[in-house]
Amino acid sequence: MGTEMVHPDRDAIELTQVLFALSDPGRLEIARQLRDGSLDVAACVPWDPSMPKATKSHRLKVLREAGVIRNEPNGRNRMLTLRRDDLDARFPGLLDAVLGRADT
């Protein structure tokens, strides 16, 4: 994938879009997998192993466009990162409330 994906600037992240992105159980699970650190796209596994690749791609797109994750090149692969700093700055405590604690 040679083109750079668009990510909203911190100030453009909207609460309604973040909440919508995290309202789907599959997208929420992806965000939970990223709360402890970045993952290669291939390592981020869907909660349903029979999920089509297109469904996973769509879920990643919704999360990225809402400002919840970054999806950036990393060599020949793509790396997913939770935008915790941006989201905590915009909506303090939201991620912890929605994702739960990592040690639970």
Domain count, the chain: 1
Q: Is residue 104 part of a domain?
A: no
Model confidence over 46-97: pLDDT tens digits?
656 677 888 888 999 999 999 999 998 888 888 999 999 999 999 999 999 9
What pTM was computed for the model? 0.86
The CATH number of whichever domain residue 39 belongs to comes to 1.10.10.10
Range of the domain at 54: 10-99
Model confidence over 23-47: pLDDT tens digits?
999 899 999 989 988 888 877 766 5
Model confidence over 66-80: pLDDT tens digits?
999 999 888 888 899
Q: Is residue 89 part of a domain?
A: yes
Q: Is residue 84 part of a domain?
A: yes
Q: Is residue 36 part of a domain?
A: yes
At 75, the amino acid letter reads: G
Token pair recorded at residue 93: 């405590």
DSSP states of 14-28: -HHHHHHHTTSHHHH
